[in-house]
Chains A and B, each alone.
Chain A
């Protein structure tokens, strides 16, 4: 049986896959259940992930990155989420929602100033878009940025921000022209320690408990003008392009969850006996396993398609949205079926599948709910939506220039 690894990926990719899965099995899986139980962030993993280059995997070497391609980012995301969603989220937020936007939209000076420290893990970064009253409706955000000479004065509140209480760099969005809706939003890089900037952790999450989720409060934070990312009023486009990056990681990570659910379910179904035979021989169990495998095969192809377009520098908003929509829903189905296969044991945290089920519920909400992606896909198919060229498109992967 030919595997997708052999058909779709190069030897280099497969070496990355082996390394990333080894890391997950050796470093993540032994500790993550306890962190999930305690709602604690696995700080001990950050230096290891930084040392291996995960935090700057698809940034060019001239900016301190590992110089790998976007498919490699997908592979690492998949491997990390095979262990737990929270660890993959860290890479997605730090790299895809903060460092990559600077790489895409930043001036050369901003790239040289900010990216090496992010790639090395000297700084941990997050992304502040969502507000208490503005989620999917980004244009409704209330944070304000007022220009005063060489500075902007930022005030507002951000909510449901991954790594809010861990990060020391923040990419936040605020309105510089409040009367212009989405076209009045601008993007700013903030640093922990600046006067008026405070963060906190949100408690009581259903899943991704080993990730930090919190709030950012800005009370007249003075931000130097050179810390604005992109042009004034370009924030909405920057935010949407950020989501193209992050949704790719979410989709790839969901493939990792499906794979984990298959591995755990197959192992359990072959061992557990009912009515005198392994439950793997019962057809309704087989149906659930087959559904998972079908979802895995489709998900892998969608992720590969989106990643390949990214490597080519082709606009991929539709394909990435499709991959995110399908893979997160498929991962939720797979985790649900995996718990069902494990029976009562699956309902306890003795097995990983219970954690995967809780985690997968968040992924069909963040980075665009499944409903948003449904509407997006309908709009593309009906000819009601077209992606215009960006002033700063994400550069195509160039193995010579990036390494």
Chain B
């Protein structure tokens, strides 16, 4: 069985505020690019499943030619293969077009029809849409599980997983193939190993372009304007009181009044 992990290369979160509107528009970001932190959990889960069930793992990312930092990081962590989808395939389109291109790429992983599980993080730290995996599941015609906190078992063409929801947790069984977005509670991502780093640095990552993948869907949404939010002015309020209990009670009142709790 093959697992495809959909990952995105995003700016280091510490550098996100430094990115200008012009850089975002052009895509020429002058920032350290890393594996989207949410996707690290998906990569870790794929590696863990490869040990548990003998699956083969492939990381798939869409980006410009040469944008392979995130894919190399996934390889260094222990994913077996990597595949870059040239973003030109999606024609500068929206999330729906990206999902279309990624779904097409999933079908090119391993032997045809061999991928039975797609893993991905809940969202990217730059785009924040959190809908790509739903689009991929829709395009592939597969079931979708979201916010998965544990993959319990894979057997007899079915997958059993635990999903978290507001105030509770449920265990579900789905027929495979299936698309899963994982929650951060699912695991603790490992650091790359030196052996993995050597392998990653020497890897030639294949690229799928327009000649390999045809995406019919046209974009339905485009940017008409883009601006950075105003820097929020933060005010500090010191809660006074004669005792710790009184201070805590007043703090709780303020937080409730501000609808924080």
Contact = CB atoms under 8 A, between A and B. Distances in A.
A77 B192 CA distance: 17
Given A10-B201, A403-B198, A15 B193 contact: no
Given A10-B201, A11-B201, A12-B201, A18 B73 contact: yes
Interface in B66-121: 72-73, 76
B197 A19 contact: yes
B194 interface: yes
Interface string B193-220: 1110110111000000000000000000
Interface residues on B, range: 10 to 19
B53 interface: no
A11 B250 CA distance: 54
A21 to B, nearest CB: 10
A57 interface: yes
A46 interface: no
A394 to B, nearest CB: 20
B34, B72, B73, B197 interface centre (most CB from chain A within 10 Å): B197
Interface in A287-344: none
Contact of A12 (B34, B193, B198): B198
B76 A15 contact: yes
Given A18-B73, A19-B76, A12 B197 contact: yes
A67 B194 contact: yes
Interface in B182-196: 191-195
A52 B197 contact: no
Contact of A16 (B34, B194, B202): B194
B191 A15 contact: no
A400 to B, nearest CB: 12
A6 to B, nearest CB: 12
**Interchain residue pairs A-B with the least CB separation, the first 9:** A12-B201, A66-B194, A15-B197, A11-B201, A53-B194, A19-B192, A19-B191, A15-B76, A68-B194
Interface of A: 10-12, 15-16, 18-19, 22-23, 52-53, 57, 66-68, 72, 403
24 contacts: A11-B72, A11-B201, A12-B197, A12-B202, A15-B72, A15-B73, A15-B76, A15-B192, A15-B197, A15-B201, A16-B197, A18-B192, A19-B76, A19-B191, A19-B192, A22-B191, A52-B193, A52-B194, A53-B193, A57-B194, A66-B195, A67-B198, A68-B194, A403-B198
Interface of B: 34, 72-73, 76, 191-195, 197-198, 200-202
